[in-house]
Structure 1
Amino acid sequence: MERWILIILVIMPGVWSGDWGVTLKSQCALKGTSVVLKCKYDYPSGHFVTSVGWYKARYVSGVGRLYPVRDPPSSPGHFRYAGNRWSDCSLEINDVQHTDEGQYYFEFETTFNRWMSRTYSHLSVKGLTAHAQPGTVTEGADVSLTCESGCDTPVNIVWFKDGLPARNPVFQARREDAGQYHCAILGQESVRSASVALNVHYAPEKVTLSMNPSGDIVKGSSITFSCSSDASPPVTQRGYSLYKDGHFVRSGQSHAISDVQPSHSGMYYCQAWNNISRRGNDLMKSAEVHLDVQYQPMNISVSMGPSNVVAGSSVNLTCSGAANPAAESYTWYRRTASSRSMLQVGSGQVLSIPSMEASHTGLYSCQARNQLGESNSTEVLLTMREEQRGWCHFTVKNNDLFIWNFKSIIFILYLKWHKCSFSQSNHTVCLSSGSQSLPITAGIGVSLFVTLVLALLLLWRKQRTHAEKKKTVSDSRLSGRGTTSTATEDQSDSVYVNIHTFPSSPPPATDVTPHNAIMAPVSCEDEVTYSTVTIKPRNPPPPHHGDRALQGSGSKARENDESVIYATVAKSR
């Protein structure tokens, strides 16, 4: 029995040492992990350990005091003695928190004495710290994730993004890589760092323009355009721009129109900008949205063609205006002078009157209708212009009307320019003339000017010839010839032109034509001009008798001279 007691005493520590002492080592622990404070103690022989305990120093106002280490109420098993009663005095701390950081002392009591360590074990509590370099990056740039523990103890680190395992800590940023990252210890994933944000900037995409309400928009209603996009950083209010048919409307994410008008119709789109370019393009454009404003017919008008209508001619009245959707029906009304009420006279966009009559005159209006309503045009007066008629004629004194000299040709051309038809019948030629258009009138003026110039040239030539003849007569008079015939010849070569202006009514037929003259009614203007032209032969035969004989026979010759043409022309203007 004594032998066994001796063996136990030999095995027990401190039996052969005979010294009091405690050996402690400082530790570094990560927040949330478990740590063991290493501790060894010794005592003299003959002592038996009866109790052990750990204390933690707390400082209040600079004065430190030791307090027994106990489990906090919220964490049973937080502290656990991991040593024994003869040499090991280690302390295990579970779920280390920053409050556990500090100085720890060990104390033990034997059967004969109590001993507390002179030194302490310092526990440092650190945490994992995650870093993203850089924290804000443009899409496509490189990113590096690093995790710091603060303790020298090597650990295996794993990464999580938004609570899910992440890929390698070094990568090229994509927009989907943006989020919250944290690192943790492999096998102890509950020990994690605080989250760090990675921001990936990219240009706006998925730019959309919405219209509320959508669908058919009626004139006078309200509408709101809203622009949205996916961008980082988000597009600000001033980063949005609204366009209509390629023209800038205004800036801002939304635009409201309280009173929609047809002028608002068009193709709309918006642009988004956040100072980030994508493939060299800073502005991103949305798809176009068509705003189609519907309205009842408006600005209805009636056009008439032709504008001047005469009896028997045709006329078309056309109804036109703006409407969306297009007008479905047109109704025509006429207001007569005898009635104040409107009489429906037709339908369709064009009202056609094939033969104008007096009963067709009046005030016309049309009514256009679509599914949104109807609208009336202003009234248009349709009148009928009566065709005015006059007489154009001339009389010839003999049967030989056309003496083919220059004067006759000019006279015929004059009649042709005025579109007069002529025929010779019993000394009378009857003409009819219609209304002239502006080009014809201009042509007549030009022809008359040319005729006048030619006439002046011929007159000058004739006067020159007459002067030469007069000189010859004077020479003959000096040689003894008579002068009576010369004077008569001078008078016979005269041309008389009388122009008179008369009212537009035709002159009586008995005043200018015989009973068998042909009278043709034509369109004439307000004034009528009558002209009388007397034409003598250029070279009358020389006289063979004396002056008195010539004087006696001159008047008779003039009465029977078949080369004389008397013409009276009446032309309306």
Structure 2
Amino acid sequence: MESLILIILVIMPGVWSGNWKVTYTDQCALKGTSAVIKCEYDYPFGHIVTSVAWSKALYFSGKWRQVYLTGLPSPPDHFKYVGNTWGDCSLRINDVQHNDEGHYFFHFATTLDRWRSKTSARLSVRELTTVVQPSTVTEGDKVSLTCVSGCPTPVNIVWFRDGQHVPNPVFQAGREDAGRYHCAVQGQEAASSASVALNVQYAPSNVTLLMSPSVVKGSSVTFTCSSDANPPVTQSGYRLYKDGHFISSGQNHTISDIQPSHSGLYYCQAWNNISRRGTSLINSTEVHLDVQYRPENITISMDPPYAVEGSSVNLTCHSAANPATDNYTWYRSTSSSSSSMVYVSSGQVLSLPSVEASHTGLYLCQARNTVGENNSTEWLLAMEEKTHGSWSLPIVAGIGVSLLLTLVLALLLLWLKQRTHAEKKQPVYDFRLSGRGSSSSASEDLSNRIYANIHVSPSSPPVIAVPDVTPHSQRKSRHGHDASSAYEDEVTYSTVTITPRNPHRTYNSRSAHDSRSKSGENDSSVIYASLA
């Protein structure tokens, strides 16, 4: 019995101290965590603790009042006494909130008295704060995460990004690291900080050009460019190119009436002012635009170009199409006034091994591909006579050569005629010598004529050797006249050679003139010279 009393006395500190007192330790708690306010109390000998309680100082109507925790609105087990009845008066507060901050007092009662502490324990409530430095980075830059608690007590911090655990608070940012970060107390992850966003900027990637790769001529086509970029590529940051040549800017480009000339390789270029590996212009992969159209420009050619009865003829159909024409059909109309056509054959080449009269008529070729079909213009196949056909070309060639030779000969004759006419028009000087004496007779006509050939030199004026047959008196007067007019008119000089009728007979013009003047005879022996 004495041993039991001794144990009780040892356990009860109030027995030894004999003083009324309560000792507290101020506490700093993080919002959402559990906090324990450390507390110890003592009392005099002979007292047995019968009840304990905690109160909180609240401000009401201009006064501070102490309100028991049991009277405060709170979730169950929010305040929990974790002390005992003989010395430990600690209080645990679960899921600490900001309204839990304040001053707390401990009360206890014994079998002989009751006690309320004169001092209080202060509880401070803080929050975790996440700091991301820097909050906006370019891909590849360094990022550092810091969690600030506000309480001096060291805590173990863990990191999360969008709910996923982050092992290292310092890292080199990639585009996949963008998101919202928050920190929490290890083991009490519900007590977390507000999240902070990390913005990782990067150049455009996955640049894609969307369009219909196969379109039909005349339809509408829209090109759409897209990319993954931060910041996003604006409208002016997209450009469309065809075969390396700039087409337009903007995310969308529409061609309302597509033509075969629009076929080619297209690619899109994106830019957001962020460079990657030294370049800021990122291209998409090239996309080939194939414009399809039904057969066009359908024509017919014939080999040989003329048909002869019994010979072979090939009619070939030509067309431009995309995809290529895969079906050719031939039709024939035997009457030019008939609009109905008769099926003949299929295939690009229509072969007629032996042309007959029944083969003549209008032929038409129809070309078809997967897009559609179209018809050629009509081709007239006419058959020529065999003999006519075999000799028509040589005859026509002969006639042409004959006409050419005739024309050349006519031009040559005309040229010769004009040349002869020109020669006849050149000046011919005829000097006639007439004699009418007793020795001359009327029958002497042409035999009495003396002709003189005049040769005109074009370069320099020659000296004229003309026998002086003019009377002396006339020569004097004429000499004076000629001298005065020599400077007025242009003189043409000629060389005149006179051949007498009788080469053995000589004439002395001066003596003959004198004798005839004395005798009074007519001047029949005078030689007249006339120049034109």
Bigger drift between 242-251 and 192-201 goes to 242-251
Q: 1: CA distance between counterparts of 2:2 and 2:346? A: 141
Given residue 374 of structure 1, which amino acid in structure 2 is its aligned partner? E
Given residue 209 of structure 2, which amino acid in structure 1 is its aligned partner? L
Q: 2:226 aligns with which of 221, 225, 228?
A: 228
Partner of 2:265 in structure 1? 267
How far did 1:37 drift? 0.8
How far did 1:85 drift? 2.7
Q: 2: CA distance between counterparts of 1:147 and 1:450? A: 121
Partner of 1:373 in structure 2? 372
Q: 1:4 to 1:264 in 2, by over 3 A?
A: closer
Q: Is the CA contact (8 Å cut-off) linking 2:224 and 2:252 kept in structure 1?
A: yes
How far did 1:164 drift? 3.4
Q: What does 1:127-276 align with in structure 2 at a 5 Å threshold?
A: 127-211=127-211, 217-219=215-217, 225-236=223-234, 239-248=237-246, 253=251, 262=260, 264-276=262-274
Q: 1: CA distance between counterparts of 2:377 and 2:95? A: 94
Q: 1:345 to 1:16 in 2, by over 3 A?
A: closer
Is 1:280–2:292 an aligned residue pair? no
Q: Is the CA contact (8 Å cut-off) linking 2:239 and 2:268 kept in structure 1?
A: yes
How far did 1:223 drift? 5.8
Match of 1:292, SS state, is strand
Q: For residues 336-378 of structure 1, what are the alpha-carbon distances to aligned partners after superposition, in whole Å with 9 as ceiling and x for unaligned? A: 4575654667766567999999999876543222344321233
Match of 1:154, SS state, is coil
- How many residues matched? 439
Q: 1:3 to 1:278 in 2, by over 3 A?
A: closer
How far did 1:141 drift? 1.4
How far did 1:272 drift? 2.6
Q: 1:357 to 1:189 in 2, by over 3 A?
A: same
Match of 2:176, SS state, is helix
Given residue 171 of structure 2, which amino acid in structure 1 is its aligned partner? F
Partner of 2:25 in structure 1? 25
How far did 1:324 drift? 2.0
Q: 2: CA distance between counterparts of 1:35 and 1:326? A: 84
Partner of 2:466 in structure 1? none
Match of 1:137, SS state, is strand
How far did 1:36 drift? 1.8
Instruction: Using structure 1 for the length normalisation, give the TM-score.
Output: 0.60
Q: For residues 370-426 of structure 1, what are the alpha-carbon distances to aligned partners after superposition, in whole Å with 9 as ceiling and x for unaligned? A: 344321233467889999x9xxxxxxxxxxxxxxxxxxxxxxxxxxxxx99xxxxxx
Q: 1: CA distance between counterparts of 2:252 and 2:202? A: 23
Q: Which runs of 5+ in 1 are unaligned?
A: 390-418, 421-430, 491-543, 545-573
Q: Is the CA contact (8 Å cut-off) linking 2:36 and 2:90 kept in structure 1?
A: yes
Q: Is the CA contact (8 Å cut-off) linking 1:24 and 1:39 kept in structure 2?
A: yes
Q: 2: CA distance between counterparts of 1:305 and 1:191? A: 95
Match of 1:176, SS state, is helix
Q: 1: CA distance between counterparts of 2:28 and 2:448? A: 163
Q: For residues 441-461 of structure 1, what are the alpha-carbon distances to aligned partners after superposition, in whole Å with 9 as ceiling and x for unaligned? A: 9xx69x959994x88777666
Q: 1:73 to 1:58 in 2, by over 3 A?
A: closer
Match of 2:118, SS state, is coil
Q: 2: CA distance between counterparts of 1:141 and 1:289? A: 35
Q: 1: CA distance between counterparts of 2:449 and 2:158? A: 146
C-alpha RMSD of matched pairs (Å): 5.2
How far did 1:202 drift? 0.9
Q: For residues 116-158 of structure 1, what are the alpha-carbon distances to aligned partners after superposition, in whole Å with 9 as ceiling and x for unaligned? A: 2222212112222222111121111121111111101112323
Q: 1:46 to 1:449 in 2, by over 3 A?
A: farther
Is 1:109–2:114 an aligned residue pair? no
Q: 2: CA distance between counterparts of 1:167 and 1:486? A: 147
Q: Is the CA contact (8 Å cut-off) linking 1:336 and 1:361 kept in structure 2?
A: no
Q: 2: CA distance between counterparts of 1:31 and 1:68? A: 22
Q: 1:255 to 1:462 in 2, by over 3 A?
A: closer
Is 1:296–2:294 an aligned residue pair? yes
Q: For residues 143-191 of structure 1, what are the alpha-carbon distances to aligned partners after superposition, in whole Å with 9 as ceiling and x for unaligned? A: 1111111101112323233333324322221122222322233454454
Q: 1:90 to 1:314 in 2, by over 3 A?
A: same
Q: Is the CA contact (8 Å cut-off) linking 2:433 and 2:449 kept in structure 1?
A: no
How far did 1:93 drift? 2.4
Q: 1:436 to 1:69 in 2, by over 3 A?
A: farther
Given residue 264 of structure 2, which amino acid in structure 1 is its aligned partner? G
Q: 1:62 to 1:255 in 2, by over 3 A?
A: farther
Q: For residues 59-101 of structure 1, what are the alpha-carbon distances to aligned partners after superposition, in whole Å with 9 as ceiling and x for unaligned? A: 3455443332249998554433233333332212233333432
Given residue 149 of structure 2, which amino acid in structure 1 is its aligned partner? S
Match of 1:95, SS state, is coil
Q: For residues 219-272 of structure 1, what are the alpha-carbon distances to aligned partners after superposition, in whole Å with 9 as ceiling and x for unaligned? A: 566665443322223334554444444455555545667776555543333233
How far did 1:463 drift? 5.7
Partner of 2:487 in structure 1? none
Given residue 281 of structure 2, which amino acid in structure 1 is its aligned partner? L
Kindly, what percent of the aligned residue pairs are identical? 60
How far did 1:304 drift? 8.2
Match of 2:210, SS state, is strand
Partner of 1:87 in structure 2? 87
How far did 1:201 drift? 1.1
- Bigger Cα Rg: 2
Q: 2: CA distance between counterparts of 1:450 and 1:72? A: 145
Q: 2: CA distance between counterparts of 1:3 and 1:346? A: 132
Q: 1: CA distance between counterparts of 2:325 and 2:344? A: 19
Partner of 2:478 in structure 1? none
How far did 1:24 drift? 2.2
Q: 2: CA distance between counterparts of 1:250 and 1:334? A: 52
Bigger drift between 142-151 and 191-200 goes to 191-200
Q: Is the CA contact (8 Å cut-off) linking 2:433 and 2:448 kept in structure 1?
A: no
Q: Is the CA contact (8 Å cut-off) linking 1:71 and 1:78 kept in structure 2?
A: no
Partner of 1:66 in structure 2? 66
Q: What does 1:345-364 align with in structure 2 at a 5 Å threshold?
A: none
Q: 1:353 to 1:278 in 2, by over 3 A?
A: same
How far did 1:107 drift? 1.0
Q: Is the CA contact (8 Å cut-off) linking 1:208 and 1:286 kept in structure 2?
A: yes
Q: 2: CA distance between counterparts of 1:193 and 1:81? A: 28
Q: 2: CA distance between counterparts of 1:138 and 1:478? A: 136
How far did 1:273 drift? 2.8
Q: Is the CA contact (8 Å cut-off) linking 1:311 and 1:358 kept in structure 2?
A: no
